[in-house]
Amino acid sequence: MANQVEREIFESYVRRNGGRVTPERLRLFDEIFSQHGHIDADRLYRAIRQDRKISRATVYRNLELLVDCGLVRRQRLGQRRYLYEHVHPGQAHDHLVCRVCDRVVEFMSPAISALQREIARAHGFDPAEHTLKISGICVGCASETEVAATGPSHRRSALRSTLS
Amino acid sequence: MANQVEREIFESYVRRNGGRVTPERLRLFDEIFSQHGHIDADRLYRAIRQDRKISRATVYRNLELLVDCGLVRRQRLGQRRYLYEHVHPGQAHDHLVCRVCDRVVEFMSPAISALQREIARAHGFDPAEHTLKISGICVGCASETEVAATGPSHRRSALRSTLS
DNA sequence: TCGTTATTGAGACTGATTCTCAATAGAGAC
DNA sequence: GTCTCTATTGAGAATCAGTCTCAATAACGA
Ligand SMILES: [Mn+2]
Ligand SMILES: [Mn+2]
Ligand SMILES: [Zn+2]
Ligand SMILES: [Zn+2]
């Protein structure tokens, strides 16, 4: 089976800390490692619900566990909820997020990673995780806006504009 | 008065968009430009409440306005709420956040900023804002933990440890 | 000064996440 | 396999930051 190594890591992490290997934990592990890309807690909950009973609380609790043992990354890419993705060691990457269509593009920059480590070191910081999110307008939305040419953008302004 | 330039920018932004310059808006502007560092909406609300009546909704609405016109930056540095800080143009900076004591250290890296612009360009992204947050253990908390040497860290584990 | 309409205040509402606690079930000992 | 201990679960309540509603107020151009 795929993800054998990660599964080992998970189970041994749980046992090493006096925890128990439960079907709920394994099911969540399988779900998040079968998905690919970013997914929120509720979608994981509903996906698992398809074939077994599980509670939301259990999903949240065990996502925390997966994050703690370094197999899953939790980030706020949108405004509201956290998104989760499983981690491939040595494949650190960051995100471009379009503020119009919410699409996420991943990129990898060893140069930025190195600079980050350097900065943390210079400040006596022991870095555990990082988030680099660049939000803006993606190429698709830029051209759409150009064509439509309908004012400032999709984002509702904080000022109640006169346009009805 | 200080912040004259920024105040100009704010008022003209508001008027240009058919908005009105209200005492609540000016008071919030003054508050966030008098503060220095990161502050949450509730603290701004309470600070303004000291000497004038204002509602929470008004604080939130007008913070959004200040963010929109580029005078204020809103970021999630902790887990829960947004933190706001006024922006000094051309002084882009990023953050190291200690996950034990929540202290925030700012740093500036023109090299990282340049790389970010380069990456956005390479993906046809028009970048509007960015967040780079490195979270870890600050030098103070590292030495404390070393002295205490009491297990994994302050962070409660998702596993109910046997220690009472 | 007047009229239009953007803004405000109070409180209801939302929604993601966390908490509570009784019932359940891993897993080590025998 | 059975027993025991206690970590984990499920269901729903609670939390909490932030957003929305709508009637009353007040900018500001005419
Ligand atoms: Mn990703
Ligand atoms: Mn800052
Ligand atoms: Zn887009
Ligand atoms: Zn610290």
pLDDT at site A142:
87
Sign of CA dihedral A144, A148, A152, A157: negative
CA angle B161, A130, A34 (to 5 degrees): 70
Q: How many domains does chain B have?
A: 2
Place of tokens 């990023």: B94
pLDDT tens across B4-44, in order?
999 999 999 999 999 999 999 999 999 999 998 999 999 99
The answer on pLDDT for B143 being more than 90 is no
> What letter would DSSP give residue A156?
P
Residue contacts between A and B (CB atoms, under 8 Å)? 139
CA of B22, C1' of C7: distance in angstroms: 8
Query: Do B3 and B50 fall within a single domain?
Result: yes
Query: Do B4 and B17 fall within a single domain?
Result: yes
Q: Residues within 5 Å of ion ligand 2 by Cβ? A: B 85, 106
pLDDT at site B131:
95
Q: How confident is residue B151, by pLDDT bands cut at 50, 70 and 90?
A: very low
Q: Which chain D positions have some atom within 7 A of a protein CB?
A: 6-12, 16-21, 26-29
Query: Do A4 and A83 fall within a single domain?
Result: yes
Interface contact flag, A134 B130, Cβ < 8 Å: yes
How far is B125 from A140, CA to CA, in rounded Å?
9
Closest nucleotide (C1' vs CA) to A61 is C18
Q: Where are the beta strands (DSSP E) in A87-149?
A: 94-98, 104-107, 126-137
The answer on pLDDT for B46 being more than 70 is yes
What average pLDDT does range B92-116 have in this prediction? 94
Which residues face B95 on adjacent strands?
A: B106, B133
Which of B74, B114, B67, B127 lies closest to A98, judged by CA? B127
**Single residue among A89, A123, A139 that ends a domain in this structure:** A89
pLDDT at site A152:
44
Query: Do B76 and B129 fall within a single domain?
Result: no
How is chain A split among helix, strand and coil, in percent rounded to 5?
Answer: 45, 20, 40
Query: Do B79 and B24 fall within a single domain?
Result: yes
> What letter would DSSP give residue A123?
T
How far is B6 from B42, CA to CA, in rounded Å?
23
Query: Do B141 and B77 fall within a single domain?
Result: no
Query: Do A10 and A83 fall within a single domain?
Result: yes
CA angle A12, A15, A19 (to 5 degrees): 135
User: Which residues, including other chains, have CB under 8 Å from residue A71's CB and lie 6 or more apart?
Assistant: A6, A9, A10, A29, A86, A87
Rg (C-alpha) for chain A, rounded Å, is 20
Interface contact flag, B138 A125, Cβ < 8 Å: yes
Tokens coding B84:
């706001």
Inform me whether the C-beta atom of residue A131 falls under 8 Å from chain B C-beta atoms.
Answer: yes
Q: CB < 7 Å to strand D — which of 53-112 in chain A? A: 53-58, 61-62, 79
Instruction: Write the CATH number for B123.
Output: 3.30.1490.190
Backbone angles phi, psi at A151, to 5 degrees: 70, -170
Query: Do A81 and A4 fall within a single domain?
Result: yes
Among protein residues, the one whose C-alpha sits closest to the C1' atom of D20 is B57
How is chain B split among helix, strand and coil, in percent rounded to 5?
Answer: 45, 20, 40
Query: Do B67 and B114 fall within a single domain?
Result: no
How far is B145 from B152, CA to CA, in rounded Å?
9
pLDDT tens across B58-96, in order?
999 999 999 999 999 999 998 899 999 999 888 899 999
The answer on pLDDT for B149 being more than 80 is no
Query: Do B41 and B82 fall within a single domain?
Result: yes
Distance (angstroms) between ligand 2 centre and the Cα of A129 equals 18
How far is B140 from B79, CA to CA, in rounded Å?
21
Which of A124, A80, A73, A86 lies closest to A102, judged by CA? A80
**Single residue among A58, A89, A120 that ends a domain in this structure:** A89
Amino acid symbol at B105: V
CA of B1, C1' of C30: distance in angstroms: 82
**Single residue among A89, A109, A139 that ends a domain in this structure:** A89
> What letter would DSSP give residue A91?
-
What is the percent of chain B with per-residue pLDDT over 90, rounded to a whole number? 77
Q: How confident is residue B101, by pLDDT bands cut at 50, 70 and 90?
A: confident
Distance (angstroms) between ligand 2 centre and the Cα of B108 equals 10
Instruction: Write the CATH number for A56.
Output: 1.10.10.10
Query: Do B66 and B39 fall within a single domain?
Result: yes
How far is A83 from A76, CA to CA, in rounded Å?
6
Give A19: exposed, middle or buried? Use CB within 10 Å, 0-12, 13-18, 19+.
middle
Query: Do A13 and A74 fall within a single domain?
Result: yes
Range of the domain at B30: 1-89
What is chain B's mean pLDDT, rounded?
90
Asked if B46 contacts B68 with a C-beta cutoff of 8 angstroms, the reply is no
Distance (angstroms) between ligand 1 centre and the Cα of A40 equals 12
pLDDT at site A145:
62
- Ranges of residues in chain A with a pLDDT under 50 are 150-154, 163-164
**Judging by DSSP bridges, how do beta strands A104-107 and A83-86 pair with one another?**
unpaired
Closest nucleotide (C1' vs CA) to B27 is C8
